[in-house]
Amino acid sequence: MTRKLRMGMVGGGIGSFIGDVHRKASSIDGMIELVCGTFSSTTVKSISFGKGLLLSTERCYANFEEMILKEKELHKDIRMDFVAIVTPNHMHFSPAKMALENGFNVICDKPITLTLDEALALKDIIKISGKSFALTHNYTGNSMVKQAKVMIQNGDLGRIRKVQVHYLQGWLATSIEGTGQKQAAWRVDPKRSGIGGALGDIGTHAENLTEYITGLKIDEVAADLGVFGKGRTLDDDGNILLRFDNGAKGTLSISQIAVGEENNLAIRVFGEKGSLEWCQENPNKLVTKWLDEPVKTYTPNGNGLYSEALEVSRIPAGHPEGYLEAFATIYKNFSNHLLALENGQRPNTPDFPTVDDGIRGMQFIYAAVESNNNNSTWTKLV
């Protein structure tokens, strides 16, 4: 590493959950430092919050427009290298667009944008700008997820036939958005969340994890979505049948009203020769089952791992690695990509989610909503 990369942040102030996650994850590998930001909707709050992060007042900005334009004027050895966008969905596209058009790389929370049209437009903007873009589908950074992906890629399980994935939470089982709960309020608001509720918030994680691990594409869906919270218009529950491009079948279940569930993201993949299962709440174990062999459980830094899994394991075997470490892997790989470009090297295919993953997520949301609105008819992702 030749130097630390300098990060600016849009959002992530008082009351934000994900902003603090981004700051912690980006710092884990010592490759990134936060140098500026616009953290709140008011200048006073933004400056106050930034000072609490030990930033200078001059680099705590009133809004993202001011931040991007003023940072652009600074010397290249001081100004930010990239922008982290950690806002609700409706505030992803505009700062990403402006940052890219002014020469800054971008890392953004998921789903990528408020609408599919914005996602498609952003892909064109990225291409014209020549800058890099990453999306924080953080679960793909887990070492056991990497192991699962390479096992399937190398044919260890044989041809994939069936996939079951679910993402279950219970935190919206009551209408807490009416109590002033900030994180709930924007997620149930179509103007800030988009056309998908749980679909956008956690469904896109399940979709992305499925396509990442299996290497398959979801071809079409048949969705039955539910709205259980009083006064809500967006889905907070759903069951979706999947058809994949290789002929495999699958199911995807999501819920934010599943009482007692915390963050239960889990996947099972069945092939001709074997199967595997992984659960985010027990992320250090990848369980595999075989036609003619005993059950085998893989762990980080354990025996039999592929190099791709070993490369993202930071600590000795038996020490838990989880959410923050997986999130940090996205930042680390993005940083290595940017530094390689800066040093005139030609990076390998990016090992982090890109704009194409973001577009897939939006296509999934739109197809599921369309299917649900048409009595769960099969609908293609286009």
Domain boundaries, the chain: 5-131, 143-315+359-380
pLDDT, tens only, 100-114: 999 999 999 999 999
pLDDT, tens only, 61-74: 999 999 999 999 99
pLDDT, tens only, 342-369: 999 888 788 999 999 999 999 999 999 9
pLDDT averaged over the chain? 96
Q: What is the CATH number of domain 143-315+359-380?
A: 3.30.360.10
Query: Average of pLDDT values for 288-294?
Result: 96
Which tokens go with 169?
A: 């939470």
Determine whether domain 5-131 maps to CATH 3.40.50.720.
Answer: yes
Question: What is the structure's pLDDT at 203?
Answer: 98
Q: How far from chain centre, in Å, is Cα 241?
A: 22
Do the two domains 5-131 and 143-315+359-380 of this chain adopt the same fold?
no
Q: Which of 14-28, 135-149, 157-171 has the lowest mean pLDDT?
A: 14-28
Q: Which residue has the tokens 């096992």?
A: 151
Kindly tell me if the per-residue pLDDT of 1 is higher than 70: no
